[in-house]
Amino acid sequence: MNINKLRIFHEVFVTGSITRAAERSYVSQPAASKMLANFEEEIGYKLFVRNNGKLIPTDEALYLHEEVYGILQGVNHLEDSIKRAKNSKSGRLRIATIFGPSYQFLPELIADYMKTNPGVYVSLHLSGCSAIRQGIASGQYQIGLVDKAQSSSKHDAVAFDLPCYCAVPKDHPAALLDVIHPKDLLDLSWITLDSENATTKALKRIYAETGLPLNRTLEVHTTIHGLSFVNLGMGATLVDILNFRYFDKVFQLPNVVLKPFAPNIVEPLEVLTSNLSPLSGLAKDFYDELIHKLEIQTRLPQDASNV
């Protein structure tokens, strides 16, 4: 299948216009129209319908575009690699991660790595766990960080348990405690991640074991959303140790206080690599430093109560 036809399809998909797609692809409008028509003829169905002068994707196009976009990314990566190899560049590092480590931990680690490896090209992708696992297995990514890995013959995994802290509004009495317990938060609502998240399950279990009611009124997708609600005085949330360590650098949330929580709750984090193909020398160097930093960062501070 002609890659130029896939590019035209993608450009029409994102712009809604043959004219704009042609301009962005550096071809004439008649050529772009012909490539799109030929593509539709090859696959046997319409990809767009015209509505008020704009090309609207059909259901089939919506389904197809995700696959096409992945192919185009791969081709672009290949073209970059070919150019860099020609220019004697050092290589490429492809990392995919869930949201948490992307706040500050990974950017700082990557920045340090690139200072000592100036010729390397690094791509950092933010994605969900399933997509990261698939990307590692297919070779799209070399290193992946997920909150919980599924055992697979295509992955090697190193697991870490990230201790969690409790974030409360600074004017709540619990903000003055050295360690926060469930009984200290009976008048506060909990802001949690989804019900299948490991920290949410652990929180439910702890409250059930203590016989206390768990009042969950807000469910969020990321820690930053939870912290934003705490800053607005809406309740308490859990924060893993990576984001705890970078809290003052990353978050401008003056109404939030972080304290240790007991019983201890941990957020699982796993670092994935493919066991079907070895890491390149550059990727292995970064991987070793990543594991080393995680081992250091996930140790509890000796005096966490003073945070």
Which pLDDT value is given to residue 230?
A: 95
For residue 221, give the nearest of 67, 61, 99 by alpha carbon. 99
Neighbours of 256 (CB within 10 A): 23
The parts of the chain modelled with pLDDT lower than 50 are 88-89, 302-307
Amino acid at 88: S
pTM: 0.66
For residue 92, give the nearest of 279, 275, 273 by alpha carbon. 279
* Residue-by-residue DSSP string for 214-268: --EEEE-SSHHHHHHHHHTTS-BEEEEHHHHHTHHHH---TTEEEEEBSS--EEE
For residue 273, give the nearest of 144, 184, 181, 182 by alpha carbon. 144
Which pLDDT value is given to residue 149?
A: 63
Q: What is the token pair recorded at 47?
A: 């990809």
Largest CA distance in the chain: 71
CA-to-CA separations, 130 to 144, 196, 299, in angstroms, rounded: 11, 14, 28
Which pLDDT value is given to residue 303?
A: 41
Which pLDDT value is given to residue 84?
A: 58
Fold exhibited by the domain 88-159+268-306: D-Maltodextrin-Binding Protein; domain 2 (3.40.190)
- 162-267 matches 88-159+268-306 in CATH topology: yes
Q: What is the token pair recorded at 156?
A: 């090697």
| Cβ within 8 Å of residue 4, ≥6 positions away | 25, 27, 35
3 state DSSP class of 135: helix
The architecture (CATH level 2) of 3-82 comes to Orthogonal Bundle (1.10)
Q: Where are the domains of the chain?
A: 3-82, 88-159+268-306, 162-267
The architecture (CATH level 2) of 162-267 comes to 3-Layer(aba) Sandwich (3.40)
